[in-house]
Amino acid sequence: MLKRAFIQLACCIGVFGCCLCSYVNTQNAVTRLRLEIPILSSELNKLKEQNNRLKYEIDLFESPEHLMQLARCSEFSHLKYPTLQEVFTVSETVILPKSPLEKEKSLPTLKWNLAIGAKQ
């Protein structure tokens, strides 16, 4: 009888020890993640700042004043805006499959403007 009670007590202590170890490991993992949050947050803030700086540089580069300066440069002198005679418009009609309840309808025509080439 005493032997059986000792075995039951040992099993209970063993299960309790396993549960305690599992709980401590879970808490360690949570603590590790909590320590990583400020590091990742600062990296995210740095990336947001860099993104804003790059957006500002893109806006400066695409500003009309800068584009006009580039147009005056000799390396871009061959580029020009196409005239109306050089623009070709392609019309396209989209037709959806007909259902028995709908009457035949054609959708509005789509237009695509294409520049057909630059003269040198």
- Residue 115 φ/ψ region, left for φ over 0, alpha for ψ in the -120 to 50 degree band, beta for the rest: beta
pLDDT of residue 94: 63
Q: What is the pLDDT of residues 54-85, one digit of tens each?
A: 999 999 988 888 888 888 888 887 777 777 77
Structural domain boundaries in the chain: 2-67
Q: What is the overall mean pLDDT for the chain?
A: 82
pLDDT of residue 104: 47
Q: What is the pLDDT of residues 25-39, one digit of tens each?
A: 999 999 999 999 999
pLDDT of residue 99: 62
Q: Could you give the maximum distance between any two Cα atoms of the chain, in Å? A: 107
Residues sharing a CB contact under 8 Å with residue 79, sequence separation 6 or more, in sequence order: 71, 118
pLDDT-derived band at 120, boundaries 50, 70, 90: very low
- Residue 108 φ/ψ region, left for φ over 0, alpha for ψ in the -120 to 50 degree band, beta for the rest: beta
